[in-house]
Amino acid sequence: MIKRVIRKILRKTNNPHPQKLDRTQHNLRSNMLSLAAKKTVNLLHQAGFEAYIVGGAVRDLLLERKPKDFDVATNATPDEIRKVFKRRSRIIGKRFPIVHVFVGKEIVEITTFRGNTNTHNEHGRIMRDDTFGTRQSDAQRRDFTCNALYYDPVSELIFDDVGALNDINNRRLVMIGNPTERFREDPMRMLRAVRLSSKLDFEISNNIKDAIRTHAHLLKAEPAARIFDEISKELLCSRAYKCFLQLEELGIPINIHPIFAIADNAKQSAGKHFLHTVLIKTDERVQQDKPVAVSFVLAAMLWSEVEKQQQQNIAQGMPPSPAMQTAIKQVINDNESDWGMPRRLLSMMREIWKLQPQLEIIKGKRPLRLLSQPSFRAAYDFYLLRAQSDNASAEKAQWWTDFQKASSEEREKMLFPPQENTPKKTKKRTRRKKATTKNTEQTT
């Protein structure tokens, strides 16, 4: 269906690289956009500026996918955008300022067209990128052709200056410009190439693959926070498992981030089945539009290393819960400065892990106390996932499922089952010895 639509577009233009398509040549309509995006574009037009929906939103609509958000590009400068939207907007970014416009609960990101002049350092990295340009120059500055389509919802025209429609039709991920130069400008484009190709089921062009294999080492110099941000996007792109397979296939070094290194260790150990289950289940939830917590997925990805440390601590004589606390410190705290992730995520991961040994206890008063913990639900879901992968007791997982549904009386019976009618063992009494006098002769 998608290929038929795009082929139809290409036939009507009689040009493999069309530059302007009117509404008779494509199936995009303004009612496919969010109200916030339409309102933003309309206000910019009314103020006398060009304005387009750009990037992934146009691509996704052509692929009949639901866009995650709608970004806008314009020839208005950030200050001019602020004058249009006033207090409902703010300028962010240092190297190249962009504007966030608040429309109800939605945030629309507006960028000014970028120019072709920028400053590079001796390694080819962009150091200064604050020149403005035209729509055509802005298209050349984007990373991949599929992200360089511009849609004007007012005139309902699509502008394609880089042959994007042809590449989308062939399901190919193609870099705009020389891949080697573009990866030197920003090495993070290598990880984005993996994520986009996996998410869209596109084939990465051979020149991109070759450039990644040659320049993957550049990622080692990237800040941990930037790499973690990309990892989070990969986990939630609905093709996380495929992403991690492609990273290995393209030779991305595992030492660019601790998460990659620990996940790779899991693949080489007994944790391989659990890691596979986690990523597949995550993909299924994202595809079904169900909520997914990044902290939960990360806790599952790193579990094999935490569990291994816990077992080593138990072997040294520590009880299960203190052994887990120590294991968490050994895995996380030793590398905390290298993770680049928000502390709230680390805190949530610790809570999930910390409750795992306590879920093994299903008698006495402790289960009731555990049920009232704020992080119980996440820890319970995690335990269920472990049980499905034969990493935890399926019987105890079912017990916890039943316990949550049980009434107060039923819970009492589950926690304190009646003792069997077995005869009590009588304690054998020992006769006390008679006290002896120190001096028996005094009694005579």
In a domain, 177, yes or no: no
CA distance 329 to 305: 12
Entry pTM: 0.81
Tens digit of pLDDT for each residue in 86-122? 999 999 987 789 999 999 889 999 999 998 766 555 5
Inter-residue contact 159 to 52 (CB < 8 Å): yes
In angstroms, rounded to a whole number, what is the distance separating the alpha carbons of residues 243 and 190? Answer: 12
Q: Number of folded domains in the chain?
A: 1
Q: What are phi and psi of 144, to 5 degrees?
A: -120, 150
The answer to the question of residue 324 being in a domain is no
In a domain, 354, yes or no: no
Domain that holds residue 74: 1-170
CATH number for the domain spanning 90: value is: 3.30.460.10
User: What is the secondary structure of 142-159 as a DSSP string?
Assistant: SSBGGG-EEEETTTTEEE
In a domain, 222, yes or no: no
Known catalytic residues? 69, 71, 143
Distance (Å, whole) CA 179 – CA 196: 15
377-394, pLDDT tens digit by residue?
A: 999 999 999 998 888 899
What are 290-333's pLDDT values in tens digits?
999 999 999 998 998 899 999 999 999 999 999 999 999 988 87
Contacts of 320 (CB under 8 A, 6+ apart): 310, 314, 357, 360
* 127-142 per-residue burial string, b: 16 or more CB within 10 A, e: under 16: eebeebbebebbbbbb
Give the three-state DSSP class for 128.
strand
What does the alpha-carbon distance between residue 85 and residue 44 come to, in Å, rounded to a whole number? 9
Whether residue 202 contacts residue 173, with contact meaning beta carbons closer than 8 Å, is answered with yes
Distances (CA, A) of 358 to 202, 287, 320, 321, 396: 45, 33, 9, 7, 11
Dihedral of CA atoms 252, 206, 20, 32 in degrees, nearest 10, equals -40
β-bridge partners, 52? 73
Residue 13 lies in a domain: yes
pLDDT in tens, 22-79: 888 888 999 999 999 999 999 999 999 999 999 999 999 999 999 989 999 999 999 9
User: Which residue blocks in 65-205 are alpha helix, DSSP H?
Assistant: 78-85, 135-141, 164-169, 179-185, 188-200
How many other C-beta atoms lie within 10 A of the C-beta of residue 264?
16
Residue 399 lies in a domain: no
Q: What confidence tier does 123 reach under pLDDT thresholds 50, 70, 90? A: low
Tokens 């705009």 sit at which residue?
176
Q: Which residues contact 417 (CB under 8 A, 6 or more apart)?
A: 363
Strand partners, 437: none
For residues 336 and 225, give the distance between their C-alpha atoms in angstroms, rounded to a whole number: 12
Tell whether 130 is covered by a domain: yes
Would you say residue 127 lies in a domain?
yes
Helix (H) or strand (E) holding 72: strand 71-74
Q: Please, what is the end-to-end C-alpha distance for the chain in angstroms? A: 120
Residue 321 Cα distances to 211, 328, 359, 375, 385, angstroms: 48, 11, 10, 16, 20
Q: Is the pLDDT of residue 334 over 70?
A: no
The number of C-alpha atoms within 13 Å of 189 and in the hemisphere containing its C-beta is 28
Q: Tell me, what's the pLDDT at 426?
A: 57
Residue-wise pLDDT for 124-168, tens only, equals 566 556 689 999 999 999 999 999 999 999 999 999 999 999 999
Q: What is the mean pLDDT of residues 361-386?
A: 93
Task: Give the pair of three-digit tokens for residue 226.
Answer: 């930037």
103, 88 contact by CB (below 8 A): yes
Percent of the chain residues topping a pLDDT of 70? 85
Hey, is 1 helix, strand or coil?
coil
Res 127: pLDDT: 55
Cα(104)–Cα(99) distance, integer angstroms: 16
The helix/strand/coil state of 132 is strand
Nearest to 328, CA basis, from 299, 358, 371: 299
